[in-house]
Each structure stands twice: as structure tokens, then as C-alpha cells.
Structure 1
Amino acid sequence: MTSAAVKSRSAITVRGSAEIVCDYLNFGINSILFQRGLYPPETFKAVENYGLSILMSEDNKIKDFLSTTLDQLKEWLVKRTVNKIALVITNVRTLEIMERWDFKVEYEGDATEGESQISEKPLKQIKKEIRDVLKQIASSVAYLPLLDCLCSFDIQIYTTNDVELPKEWSEAEPANIKNAQSVKMRSFSTNIHKMETVVTYKNDD
């Protein structure tokens, strides 16, 4: 086997990188829904990934919603038309926004290469970086205020202006929080997409 063949096999494509980002978001969002107590703990099941045990929702509505959203996101990440994904947690009764998780996307490397862009960064290293972020998400309950009201969640995707929205999507107002405080988590990078995670929450102290 030639070294070129080995090299191409370990390289990550733009689409592969978008998949890594969406996998992280799927596990990260599920972890947040569990940690923040949005749904009963018995509706979650532990799944092993990234060397961690992550609690994933078994509710079909949530699974379908995330699957549809992340499939669309994947296409936009490949085309470099997304700059942020926000998970917005809202008080169902008052409609006040209690918490917002921002997943900010930066694009690395040469944009002119388009979908032919390749990353040589080892998958093992990327997964370790993702594991570190997921650990931070899990430990965030230690400082985030208790959500002692019935809450719902939504996902907002911030795209460039030239994106044509699918018909089931709608324009949304930015989710601003009063008396906001933010905590920045670690970032991870595939050398094609870099993702930074920030949680902003309502601080009534």
C-alpha cells in the first residue's frame, strides 16, 4: 500500500467535518436537555461515545426534531452559510428566555477549495477535544441557576442572508436574555470547522 493511499484514507472531508460537528451538537443538546431537567430523567438513556456516558432522549418527537434540524444544518455547514446555532430555553408560562446555548462556527482553511477541502487532523484528537467540551456541559449544572419552571426549547440557526429557508422554517427574533451572564466553554476544531460553545443565562442575583 502506498503512503498516498493511507494518507487519503485518514483525511477528513468537508462533509465528514460537518458530520462531526452535527454529531457533537446531537450529543451536546441531548446532554443539555437532560442536565437542565427539561424532560423527565426516565425518558433518557445512557449511550457511550467520546469515552463518556451521555444521556440521550428516547422521545421520538425530540429525536425527529433534532434529526431534521441537524440534517439541514449539515448542508449549510458544507456550504459555509452558518455562523451560529442557538439552543434557546424558554419559560412556557411567561415566554421569558431563561437560557441560551450558542454554538458558534468558524471556517478554517481555504474557502476557495470548496468541498474538496481536506483536513489531516487525527479523528482521535478531535474526539478528545469534543469530550472535554461535553464534560464542561455536564458540569455546568454546578453554577447554572435552577430552572424551577416548566420550560421548552427551540433551535435557531443563524445563516448568511443568501440562504433559502426550507418552507417549514421561519425567521425568528434574536433570543435576548435580561440580566445575562455568560460562560465560555472550550472549543474544538476539525481544521475545517471550529466550534465554540457559550452558555448565557439569566442571573437574578
Structure 2
Amino acid sequence: MAVDKKEKAQVHKLALRGSSKTVAEFFEYSINTILFQRGVYPAEDFTPIKKYGLNMLVSSDDQVKAYIKKIISQLNKWMIGGKISRLVVVITSKETGEYIERWQFDVQLLGKSSKNRSSKKAPDKENATPQETASPEPEPEKTEAQIQEEIQAIFRQITASVTFLPVLDGNCTFNVLVYADADSDVPIEWGDSDAKEIKDGEKVQLRSFSTSNHKVDTMVSYRLAD
């Protein structure tokens, strides 16, 4: 029985949309988890919620919720268009302006030749040199349970990271940077940003997870205590 090409394209489009939603949701909970685990905001500003079979904590602060919601809404659109290559959460000291921690999530669109993008996007955004790269082959089909297990492992690592990351002294704030293709439509209120790299920082590679369409690698870099 022949399968109509149009039908196959529609199935792929639905799969890509579902995968993009999964990755965007992962980013949303990652931002919240980092803010909670690293004490950027008081523990009482977070509300427990069940997700990925885990007890997650999300911010109940209206300003923080609105900021994250705006990012994730735009991010999901770019993900579906295959325009995202990286999301970064940077924790900065309010007193000194120094970048203390940098959580980096690299996104690969599987099974398609892509550009390793220049960027332009996010409440802050970053620039990378465009380079032609070959994306990895598509992952074998995974069940929702298998994907959830991989995501669980990452969140457990983020939670366990408090055992090796330096204690954050003083008041801190955070920014989210998104690397997207140079031709992406960027909200007018979003601006360019440098990469906010941590000078001479330590780097720790964490776990990754993948769907049939995307792979996400996680890494944290931090400034060594004086």
C-alpha cells in the first residue's frame, strides 16, 4: 500500500511540532529549576507541580512568570521553524555585575542539514558565526516514557549540582539568551547581547535527551570561588 507523500509530510510536521513543544517545555522547567536550586529567588516564591514524574518547583512571582512565558512562547515558534541552536541561562551578581554561572542548552535538529546559526534573539541574544554543518541522523523512535526518563535524569543532575557548584553570595539576577538564525523574526523589545561567557570558568557537561527530531545537550560553567 503506497503512502501519500503529502500524508507523510503532514505526519512529520506533526511530529516536529510535538518535539518542539517537548523541548520548549523542558526549557521552561529548566529555567525554573535553576532559579530555585541556585537560590536566585526565595524558596517561598516557588510552587510545587508534578511534571516528568518528579516534584518540580516553578516561580509564582508574576514578573518572573511573565518573563519566562514570553521567552517560551517565542521559543516554541522558533523551534517549530528549526531556527534555534542554543538557549543560555546566565546568573549575574547584582553587586558586581559579574557572570557567576552559565547554563547552556545546545539544540540539534536531527536528520537535516542545518546552519550552526548566527543569532539574534532573546530578552538578550547572542551571536555565533554561521557554519554549514551536517546534523546527526534521526534518532530511533522513542516512547514518551523513554524521553521522560532522559529528561528526569537531567533534572536530577541539575538538582545534584548544588553539591559541586559554589554557593552564590549576595543578591543575584538572571538573563536568558537565545541563539537563533539571523533571518528569524525577533520581537522589537528583544536586543542583542554578548555571549556572557564566564572568564576562566570551570565547565561540567551534564546529560542530554533526544526526541526523534531534536537532541538537547546540557552544560554548566561557573566562576571558581575566590
Normalising by structure 1, we get a TM-score of 0.88
Q: Which runs of 4+ in 1 moved over 4 A?
A: none
Q: How far apart in 2 are the matches of 1:51 and 1:204?
A: 35
- Counterpart residue type for residue 208 of structure 2: S
Offset at 1:109? 2.2
Q: Which moved more, 1:170-179 or 1:193-202?
A: 170-179
- Structure 1 residues 111 and 75, CA, compared in 2 at 3 Å: closer, same or farther? farther
Secondary structure, in 3 states, of the residue corresponding to 1:101? strand
Q: Is the 8 A contact 1:14 1:118 kept in 2?
A: no
Partner of 1:78: 80
Secondary structure, in 3 states, of the residue corresponding to 1:13? helix
Partner of 1:55: 57
Q: Is the 8 A contact 1:83 1:105 kept in 2?
A: yes
Partner of 1:22: 24
1:87 aligns with 2:89: yes
1:121 aligns with 2:175: no
Q: How far apart in 1 are the matches of 2:143 and 2:110?
A: 16
Secondary structure, in 3 states, of the residue corresponding to 1:29? helix
- Counterpart residue type for residue 16 of structure 2: V
Which among 161, 165, 172 is matched to residue 182 of structure 2?
161
- Structure 1 residues 188 and 101, CA, compared in 2 at 3 Å: closer, same or farther? same
Q: How far apart in 2 are the matches of 1:186 and 1:119?
A: 18
Secondary structure, in 3 states, of the residue corresponding to 2:48? strand
Partner of 2:155: 134
Cα offsets for 1:69-109 (capped at 9, x unmatched):
01101111111111100001111121110110001001112
Could you list the runs of 5+ residues in structure 1 that have no partner in the other structure? 1-7
Which among 192, 209, 217 is matched to residue 188 of structure 1?
209
Aligned alpha-carbon RMSD (Å): 2.2
Q: Is the 8 A contact 1:89 1:97 kept in 2?
A: yes
Offset at 1:150? 0.6
Q: How far apart in 2 are the matches of 1:69 and 1:189?
A: 21
Work out the number of aligned pairs and report it: 193
Offset at 1:176? 1.4
Q: How far apart in 2 are the matches of 1:125 and 1:204?
A: 38
Cα offsets for 1:123-144 (capped at 9, x unmatched):
1111110001000001100000
Percent of residue pairs bearing the same amino acid type: 37
Q: Is the 8 A contact 2:139 2:211 kept in 1?
A: no
Q: How far apart in 1 are the matches of 2:52 and 2:78?
A: 25
Q: Is the 8 A contact 1:179 1:204 kept in 2?
A: no
- Counterpart residue type for residue 143 of structure 1: F
Normalising by structure 2, we get a TM-score of 0.80
Secondary structure, in 3 states, of the residue corresponding to 1:16? helix
Q: Is the 8 A contact 2:139 2:210 kept in 1?
A: no
Offset at 1:179? 2.3
Q: How far apart in 1 are the matches of 2:58 and 2:185?
A: 31
Could you list the runs of 5+ residues in structure 2 that have no partner in the other structure? 1-9, 115-137
Cα offsets for 1:9-49 (capped at 9, x unmatched):
9x961111111011111111111101100111111111111
Q: Is the 8 A contact 1:104 1:196 kept in 2?
A: yes
Q: How far apart in 1 are the matches of 2:203 and 2:113?
A: 31
Q: How far apart in 2 are the matches of 1:57 and 1:164?
A: 28
